[in-house]
Every structure is written in C-alpha cells, then in structure tokens.
Structure 1
Amino acid sequence: MQNKKRLTFRKVITSSELIEQINPENQKLVDRFLKNFSTKRSPKSVLVYKSNYNIFFCYVLLYCDNKSFIDLKKFEILDFFDFGVTELKWSPNRFHQMHSSLCSLSDWIENVMDEYYPNFKNIVKKIEKPAKELIREKSVFTKDELYGLMNWLGEINKPQEQCLLSLMMGSGARADEFANFTTDLIDENNLAFEGLFLETTNEMRVKGRGVNGKRIKRYIIKDVFLPYYKQWLPIREQIMKENGIEHNYIFVKSDGEPATTSTIRSWMEKWDKPLSKHFYPHSTRHYWCTTLLAAGLEAELVQELQQWGSSEMLNIYNDATAKDRKWKGLAKLRAELEKESFSEELNKIQESNNN
C-alpha cells in the first residue's frame, strides 16, 4: 500500500558538543534576549526561538569562525539562509520562521543594547524572504469520507476515538487543545446560537500571542459531537474506576490517566487505514470551516465562533473552490438561456449547421 503520510526532510547541524562551543558573547546575547522574550510569549515559542538560535550559531561556529553576531556581515547572513534552503531543504515557511527569529534578536539588540552596541543595525531585515507557498499536498475531506472513518472506528471498537473525531469535526479546534478538554467544560444544556452549538462552560487556552496564549470559549456543533460523547462517557468511567483513577479529562490512556497530545496523535496515525489520503488533525479544522460556510452560515458568524481576529483566516481554512460555491449570477444566466428568443436563435443555428 502506498505511504500516504506527508514527508518532511530533516538534516541536523547542531549537537550538544557544538552548542557548548558557541561564542560566549553570542550565547549571552541569546540568553538575555530569551529571558525578556519569555515574559511576552509562550514557553513553546521560547523553545522554538532557542532551537533556531542554536542552529544559526552552530552554523556561525562552523562556517563563520565563531564570530560575534554583532560583527557578522550581510553576505554571511545571506550565506546562512542560502545554506538553509540548499542544504537543510527549508520550505518558504521555515525560512520565514528563522528570519523572524533573527530579526527579533537584531531588533532587541538595536533597541535595548544600544548603549553597548551603538553602531549595530538590523541587517537581517534586508535579506529578501521568499513568498510563502503550500509545499505539501493538502488533504481535503468530504463529509462522507470522515463519517466513513467514524464508522470504521466503530467497527474496530474505538468509541473514544469516535468521540475525539466528532469533537474535531464539531469544533474546528487545534490538535494541542483536545487533551485539555474536560467533562466540566461540556454541559448539554449550555447551548448557543439557537441551540445548534454547545458552548464550553469556561474559556480554554488556545494559540495566541502572550505567555498564556489566548483564552476563548469553544463552540461545538451539538448534533455532531453529543451522541459520541454520551456513548464514550460510561466506558471512560469504567476504565477509570478499574484503575482507581479520578480526574475530569475527557480522553484517557488505557490505564485511566489523562491522554496527552502525543497519545492523541498516536491514535490519529492509524486513521489513514480506511482513507484514500493522509489524515492530519488540521484537516478537520479546514473541514469545519468549509462545511459551515457551504451550509450558508454567515462568514462573520464563522469568524466569531473561532474568535479569529481577521477575516483572512476564513480564506485560509475554507477549502471550497469556485466550482463548489453557489453563485447567484448563474441563476440569471440559466434564465437567459431558457428564454424563448434565445432558444429560437439556437434552433436556427442548429438547422443551418444541419444543412
């Protein structure tokens, strides 16, 4: 069977030994910057930036004589980005991420450390960034395909995974959020928007700027999620009772302990089997948005349900093509084509061709 997973190229130029040899001045700058950065961004963002700086300064160690960051020339930084594209096989998105990390460090040095480095300027921003583009084939799922997966999970007796899939389809939440859903958040009488959506009883932490991210209430399509949730709850309670475990997390490991994000992702890795394309959690976020818009829900309401700050997010997550949309002008065209005068003209042309 053909492998449906999306492949990512990985080449590592860092090691603990190399990191220990990074120019102490560079390491001191990074540590100071990250200390300040951590007061404004999430721990996960700090780790991403730290990893990027390890890559960059290991490169400087290997190819730029371990120079101070302050003394690097523009062509040397350009060489690094060229190395990333040619040797590390960076995508445009990865290029942008590294560019952002180095720009942030440079801006901080220029604005905060100016007393120590009065002549320093951010030269990273002069490096041209490639246009962002989709580099992996996107999996677009129909309702029939996802409910086919749901039925397959039922056939192999995976009610918990059915509950998870229904929550994904019904909420459009991100993968990292599902391990944080608790039974306290779900009240079948706490409804919103004419009773079509379950509203979580409290706000949840979601991706966003700041140390604690953003907190919003989640809205879940009731009829998509509730039947599978109710099916799973008594089974969950039995597992926890048998293992002497007490907590309020919806998803659990086989020993009753709360499921982690990595646990949940491991379940999803098996979901490709009944599908014709690769399943990944973000695909249901696209499905959620596309389905609601196709059903005629106002774009403003879809944006409100996700608490998106920009309507541009609708364009990102709506997978409907021009052919899938309902165009009012097509009805006008159909009416014009069906007019008697048009039909008579068409008949004349056909008769002329026959002669």
Structure 2
Amino acid sequence: MPAPTTARALQEYLDHLTIERGRSANTVAAYRRDLSRYIAYLDSLELALDAVTTQVVEDYVVVVRTGSDGGAPLAAGSAARSLAALRGWHGFLVDEGHATHNPAHGIRPPAQGKRLPKAISTHEVERLLEAAGTGDGPGPLRDRALLELLYSTGARISEAVNLDVDDLDLTPGTAAVRLFGKGSKERVVPVGSYAVVALDAYMVRARPELAGAGRGTPAVFLNTRGARLSRQSAWAILRASAELAGLPESAHVSPHTLRHSFATHLLSGGADVRVVQELLGHASVTTTQIYTMVTADAMREVYVQSHPRAL
C-alpha cells in the first residue's frame, strides 16, 4: 500500500481520533496544532515521515521546549502533550501499514515540576459570586448562576457552557446536573442550594429575555444574541467578576479556579478523596490526590501560626 501524503496522513489520524477514539473537538484541535508544527519542522529538515529517526524526535522535543523553530517555547507539560501527539501519529502509521517503526516509542517526556492547583479562600469565593451578580438586566443573573454552578459542582467551564436545559434538575433537596467530561464521560453531580436559587432566578427571569434574541437553542447559558455562551465568554465573565470583587492579583483567577477551590474546600471539610474524584470526573484518584497536598499545606500553615511551640 503506497504511503499517503503527509497532509492526508495527518487528516486520516485526526479522523481516527474523532470517529474511532471519540476524542473531543478541543483535543483534536490541539493535536492538529501540535502535529502541524511537527510537520513544519520535518519540512525544514527536508525529511519525509518514513525517514524520521528517534534522534530526530528527541531533537524536536528540545526545539519546542526552546522555541528555536520560531514557535512559542512550550512548558514541560505542553511539550509532553506534543510528544504524545506525534507518538500516537507514528503509531497509527505503523498500525495502518504506512510505516515499519515508531521513532517516538520509548522517548520519555520532559520532567514536569509538581504544580499545585490554585484555589481561593471561601471568603474570596463569596466576594467573587456577589460581584458576578452586580448590576441590572439579564447579564448579572446569568453570570451569578454560571459561577455559582461552577463552584457548587466543580464543573469545568467547557462542561458548564455545553449544558442543555434537560441536563438540569433544580428540584429542591435533590437538585443535580448531568455533566459530560473528557471523552464524553457522563457524571451526575449534586447542586447546592445557593446555586439552585441563582439558577432558578436566571432560568425564570433572565434566560427567556436572552433567548428572545436568538433562534432557539437548548443551551442553559446564553449570550446577548441568544446563542450558546462560549467558553471564552465564560472565562471573561470570571475574570471581570474577579476584578470587580477586588481579588488580589496573587489569586490568579483562571478558568479552573472555582473547580480547584471546590475540590480543596471539600477535602478541607473532611470529604473522602474518592468521592471528590467522582465529583470531578477524574479517571484516576491519583489526579485528585494532588488536592490533598494543598490542604496539608493549609493545615501546616495554621499549625505554625497557632501552636505555641511550632517554631
């Protein structure tokens, strides 16, 4: 079987990720960016795919870490993702009979420093949520409902903006939301009473007005044109609310801030790590356990400040 052109080989792999592996659109887009940069590097060396060696791949990892190809230098985690993308692509070419070996097999990703999630205090969360609801019209009601939901459920911003009305059950006492995480994995998460109140206010008093500007969509969170709120717009709402709340710059409010705060505050309150794992939709408890380090640091700080013989 003749080898396909590089462009065709890339598209076949991306189609494989989408159709057969069920990868999300965001994941496929990230793979496309990583592999397009890799192809440009190979083109600069005038190398065909079947001529790539392990040394070429190792050199490429150094290139993306330093940005010596003219692209943005990648942090260790992003370089590891890029390596995973091209390892998967070369493996796919082998499986399809277009190559005899995977030159990226066995190459270890760059070492990553241990990064602890950034969480804000419960007091800062309260200030953030109050700030989100400041003002008149449907916007503040939507913004407050969005942020209340994020903190109440630990949902990713992408999961929240992809919610449809049928995914919400606001029955007092048993309120829950159906979230679709990475790989379209479904989970049902309880919704706290404060978020229920905020969501109910938005659904009754604000969403109908926003929906009137559009053509009809099942999305829970809408923009001013009546269409589904984008992830970028949701991030902008979070950032604007943080500025309005006067949160310190050190808080580093990001799309994951409320998710991290949700997990950290649950564990600080005595929640079992495996329960938090299920609520967050983590495939492995190892991913969730990093939050226990955050709470351990908090306990240590309280101990040092409070115990008469700690220092």
- TM-score scaled by length of structure 2: 0.81
Specify the SS of the correspondent of 1:271. Answer: helix
CA drift of 1:312 comes to 1.1
CA drift of 1:187 comes to 2.7
The equivalences for 1:41-60 within 5 A come to: 41-42=22-23, 43-60=25-42
| 1:207 to 2:178 alignment | no
What residue number does 2:21 align with? 40
- Aligned with 2:221 (options 251, 264, 277): 251
Q: Deviations over 1:157-187 (max 9, x none)?
A: 4222111111011010011011222333333
What residue number does 2:104 align with? 124
What residue number does 1:230 align with? 200
One-letter amino acid of the counterpart of residue 89, structure 1: P
Closer, same or farther: CA 142–217 of 1 in aligned 2, 3 Å: same
Closer, same or farther: CA 169–61 of 1 in aligned 2, 3 Å: same
Consecutive aligned runs of 4 or more in structure 1 exceeding 6 Å deviation: none
Q: Deviations over 1:108-133 (max 9, x none)?
A: 223331xx54xx32221343321122
- Aligned with 1:96 (options 57, 60, 80): 80
One-letter amino acid of the counterpart of residue 28, structure 1: R
CA drift of 1:225 comes to 0.6
What residue number does 1:298 align with? 272
Contact 1:170–1:288, Cα closer than 8 Å, also in 2:
yes
Contact 2:80–2:109, Cα closer than 8 Å, also in 1:
yes
- Aligned with 1:149 (options 115, 128, 144): 128
What residue number does 2:284 align with? 310
Closer, same or farther: CA 302–112 of 1 in aligned 2, 3 Å: same
| 1:166 to 2:166 alignment | no
- Aligned with 1:322 (options 285, 296, 302): 296
- Aligned with 1:187 (options 169, 175, 178): 169
Q: Deviations over 1:82-124 (max 9, x none)?
A: 21111231111111111111111222223331xx54xx32221
What residue number does 2:58 align with? 78
User: Which has the higher Rg, Structure 1 or Structure 2?
Assistant: 1
Specify the SS of the correspondent of 1:204. Answer: strand
Specify the SS of the correspondent of 1:70. Answer: helix
Q: How far apart, CA to CA, are the structure 2 residues paired with 1:167 and 1:55?
A: 37
| 1:287 to 2:264 alignment | no
Closer, same or farther: CA 49–257 of 1 in aligned 2, 3 Å: closer
Q: How far apart, CA to CA, are the structure 2 residues paired with 1:74 and 1:96?
A: 16
Larger helix proportion, structure 1 or 2? 2
CA drift of 1:223 comes to 2.1
Q: How far apart, CA to CA, are the structure 1 residues paired with 2:143 and 2:266?
A: 23
Closer, same or farther: CA 241–60 of 1 in aligned 2, 3 Å: closer
CA drift of 1:56 comes to 0.7
One-letter amino acid of the counterpart of residue 46, structure 1: V
CA drift of 1:293 comes to 1.4
Closer, same or farther: CA 41–295 of 1 in aligned 2, 3 Å: same
Q: How far apart, CA to CA, are the structure 2 residues paired with 1:188 and 1:128?
A: 47
Q: How far apart, CA to CA, are the structure 2 residues paired with 1:28 and 1:322?
A: 50
| 1:110 to 2:90 alignment | no
Q: How far apart, CA to CA, are the structure 1 residues paired with 2:211 and 2:50?
A: 60
Specify the SS of the correspondent of 1:281. Answer: coil
- Aligned with 1:265 (options 212, 235, 241): 235
Contact 2:181–2:281, Cα closer than 8 Å, also in 1:
no
Contact 2:142–2:207, Cα closer than 8 Å, also in 1:
no
Q: How far apart, CA to CA, are the structure 2 residues paired with 1:131 and 1:292?
A: 30
What residue number does 1:178 align with? 160
CA drift of 1:237 comes to 4.5
One-letter amino acid of the counterpart of residue 101, structure 2: K
Closer, same or farther: CA 261–121 of 1 in aligned 2, 3 Å: same
Percent identity between the two aligned chains:
17
- TM-score scaled by length of structure 1: 0.72
Number of residues of Structure 1 aligned to a counterpart in Structure 2? 288
Q: Deviations over 1:288-340 (max 9, x none)?
A: 111111112222322233343321122234563424349xxx9xxx9xx9xxx
Give 5+ residue unaligned stretches, structure 1.
Answer: 1-22, 193-197, 338-355
